[in-house]
Structure 1
């Protein structure tokens, strides 16, 4: 079976689009970064390294320091699919990130986005 095209796309080519989507709705790059750090365990230096090295999505998630243990709390529909029902683990991780950025752009509070009480 052929891998979805997004797996081989550079994370750095999509990252500015996440920021653009957030900023259109009066949110910030810092909030986008906070979501990425929360989800993947990357820090600022790690994220910058990923961007500098033009790492693809597959490598971005495979080399993520630690996926947040609360990812199972991320539910809902993104791109027409329920994120909790996506079978391919990598596609699910990509869609988790999409869902969190979408929630940010919709004005949700960071505490809710990051699934904290």
Structure 2
């Protein structure tokens, strides 16, 4: 009779290798960025793959207008756009790792 746990050992090794690859992808995520814009480029926000905002650029002309409420809305919209794009970037990286399988807890 074959050892019923022989296959389990292979599965555990594969899971560990996948976990190591995932850790590398997440580590590299901080160096990959995505930018989101709002107001036709008046505000640009840059986020990294670790979902951290790493840059904000605001056209000085909009600051001169004094419309703080509009500026706040543009910053929020550009931030959401940047985070959405960063998430898509990471989902693409994870898809390459998992072969397209949706694994709970991974993005």
Give TM-score scaled by structure 1 length: 0.30
Higher relative contact order (CA 8 A, sep 6+): 1
Give TM-score scaled by structure 2 length: 0.32
More strand by share: 2
